[in-house]
């Protein structure tokens, strides 16, 4: 199956903000899964490790995970995240399959963003073998 990395903000001013960022990434990841690809959501992998190691460790770790994926979905708000901006920059140079959402006040999936994700996954699946290798 195809692996699709979900990029977006993780850190927040409060634990509640972090939890909302994780939930939002999960929501978009579920849409990726419903479209037929495997969502790779680093937010969920490391949510309970926040502040346990320097941010640089987690940024390096998530970049390594991204490099094993076939495509990337950058959820609304990614432009405000240092980590997501670096991930998108790497994906722009190295991945053929990108679904980058613009800035929006409604950072939760809408019918339009859901349809865009379905189209993105279908296109990717028709063009590339899993893991691009």
| Predicted structure pTM score | 0.85
Return the beta strands (E) in 30-74 as ranges: 38-40, 71-74
In the chain, helix, strand, coil percent, each to 5? 60, 10, 30
Q: Which residues are CB-contacts of 59 (< 8 A; sequence separation ≥ 6)?
A: 82, 83, 86
Give pLDDT tens digits for 115-131: 888 888 888 888 766 66
Average pLDDT estimate for 110-114: 78
Please give the backbone phi and psi of residue 5, each rounded to the nearest 5 degrees, phi first: -80, 135
Average pLDDT over all residues of the chain: 86
Helix (H, G, I), strand (E, B), or coil: what is residue 74? strand
Domains, the chain: 3-128 (3.40.50.10400)
């Amino acid at each position: 199956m195809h692996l699709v990395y979900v990029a977006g903000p993780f850190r927040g001013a409060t634990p509640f903000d972090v939890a909302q960022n994780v939930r939002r990434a999960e929501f978009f990841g579920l849409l990726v899964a419903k479209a037929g690809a495997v969502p790779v959501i680093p937010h969920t992998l490391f949510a309970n490790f926040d502040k346990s190691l320097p941010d640089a460790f987690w940024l390096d770790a998530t970049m390594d995970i991204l490099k094993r994926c076939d495509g990337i979905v950058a959820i609304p708000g990614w432009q405000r995240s240092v980590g997501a901006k670096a991930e998108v920059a790497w994906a722009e140079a190295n991945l053929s399959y990108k679904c980058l959402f613009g800035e929006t006040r409604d950072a939760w999936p809408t019918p339009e963003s859901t349809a865009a994700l379905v189209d993105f996954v279908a296109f990717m699946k028709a063009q590339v073998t899993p893991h691009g290798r």
